[in-house]
Structure formats: structure tokens, C-alpha cells
Amino acid sequence: MPAMASSAPKNFADDVSLVVVLLDTNPFFWSSSTSLSFSALFSHVLSFVNSILLLNQLNQVVIIATGYNTCDYIFDSSVSGSVNQSSGDARMPGFCEEVIRNFEEFLSEDEKLSGSDVVDGVGSSLLSGALSMAMCYIQRVFRSGPLHPQPRILCLHGSPDGPEQYVSVMNAIFSAQRSMVPIDSCVVGAQHSAFLQQASYITGGVYLKPQLLDGLFQYLSTVFATDLHSRNFIQLPKPVGVDFRASCFCHKSTIDMGFICSVCLSIFCTDQKKCTTCGSVYGRAKADASSTIGQKRKDAS
């Protein structure tokens, strides 16, 4: 596990967890998915959330819906009326009704923000926004008092990566690393996610792309339900490799080789005379400009 910068926060106990679930609800992806329907995924997630709450009465679960245009909270066990605060378990009928009601309201709002019913391919969900919301929630928990559960983020993701979100996603990842918040990733799409591979690797989380999606609940309950203390004693899945490729700032496309600004570390796929991010003029461009001015003065004299 990579070293992290800040010290471990105080918590109730080693096995008390705060799990923030980021649920990919991109309708363009799910309408084209053939391996798993969203209703099946939703059923697995509800069972998983209830199992987390049953493991310890102090456990907390938050669900953030990650849509195509926006993201929002659709469940928070700490304020939900469908969760028995004394025993920690969810009353399943009321719990499901609450989540489904909030989810339907979210879908309606996300659809209103969409300018078109057709996108290029399946599009990408707003992962950067969901990660930022998760970190904001966790920071509020850190500041709520001296005792709190150990937080972690679980990304249930299927949509392809959005290169235009690269900077925002990496900022959220580094924020999670600094706060010692692991980002677990469960990819249910056809392709691996380079963003989530890097997120899990950098923060010390678990990255997994299940082969049999029909048994998704088994993966969730045996791998991602494990608290951070217990992970020191069991063997969890490890990714075969990590895609560390970045996205350029000029065309928002994934590149193998590029040019980096020495001032702000922006990445470009082509050689630039001036950084479009910080405005720095590079040495060669300055030399060319100086020689041009000198030549003009010489010609004038």
C-alpha cells in the first residue's frame, strides 16, 4: 500500500466503517449494456448496503448517484428514517422505497439537464463530481467530532472514462490519498477504467472487474464489505496491471507520450510555445522572440 501523507484519524473502533458508494447511473451506458441490467445492479447494491449496516450498528453508508449530467445523494444511513439507529439494520421495505424514490427524483433531474437524447457512444458519467462530493462528505465527518468511522469510497462504475475529467478526477484522488481514504473500484463495464485503476492504486484501495456479473453480490460482500482493519489479515484481489496514461489538456484525449509544462505540469500532446493553462512562455519561444526583436532593431538602425 502506498505511503500516505497525513496521520490516521481517530475512530470508534477498527471495524467501524463509513462506506460511500458511487453508483453509476449513466442511462446511455445502461441502455447499451447486455451483460447486466441496471435493475439487477440496483438489487445487488441494496442487499450490499443492508449487509454493511448489519455488520456493525455503528457502520454508516452513503449512496451517491453518478449521472450523465449531475450527481447527488440518494441515501444516507445517518439521517435515514428507514434505518434502526439502535441496531444499525435497515428496515428493508422502507429502506428500498426511500432509495428508489430518491433515485427516481434524481433521474428526473438528470434528464432535465440533458440537452439531447443522443450522445456519441455511451458517454461518460460525472465521476469527478461524485468523487468530489464523497470527499466533501468525508471531510465533514472528520470535522464532526473526535470519534468517527473509518471512511472508504466504493465506485460501482460501468461508463467509459471521460478524458475531459482527468484533472478533476486526479485532484480528487490525491485529496483521498492525503486524507487516507481508500478508493475501491468495482468495474461492471466491458473495458477497464484507467481512472479507477490509478485511484485504487494511489489510495491503497481494491480494484476489481468481476468476470461473472450475475454473482455481483458475492463479489461485493466478500471483497468490498471487508473493513480496513481486517484487510491487513486477508488476501484481496490485486490488479494485473495499472494504466498510468494521462489525458492531454489541449484535446482531452488519452496519450502515451506528451509534453509537460515545467511550471504547472500541464500535459499536451503537441509541442507548445505557450502554456494555455498558466500562460508561461517556454525558453525556445522566448529565444525566438528575443532574436526577432534584435533583428528588427538591427534592420531599423
Q: For the segment 52-72, what is each residue's pLDDT rounded down to a tens digit? A: 998 888 899 999 999 999 999
Higher pLDDT, 157 or 232: 157
Give dist(CA 192, CA 62) in Å, integer. 25
The per-residue pLDDT for 244 is 74
Q: pLDDT per residue over 211-222, tens digit each?
A: 889 899 999 999
Q: pLDDT per residue over 241-277, tens digit each?
A: 787 777 777 766 777 788 888 777 677 888 878 887 7
Domain range annotation of the chain: 17-244, 247-300
Higher pLDDT, 286 or 97: 97
- Judge whether residue 137 has pLDDT over 50: yes
Give the mean pLDDT of the chain.
83
Q: Which of 77-91, 132-146, 250-264 has the lowest mean pLDDT?
A: 77-91
- Judge whether residue 111 has pLDDT over 80: yes
- Closest by CA to 268, choosing from 278, 279, 253, 283, is 253
Higher pLDDT, 166 or 103: 103
Class of domain 17-244: alpha beta
- Judge whether residue 298 has pLDDT over 60: no
Q: pLDDT per residue over 174-220, tens digit each?
A: 999 999 999 999 999 888 999 999 999 999 999 999 988 989 999 99
Confidence of residue 131 (pLDDT cuts 50, 70, 90): very high
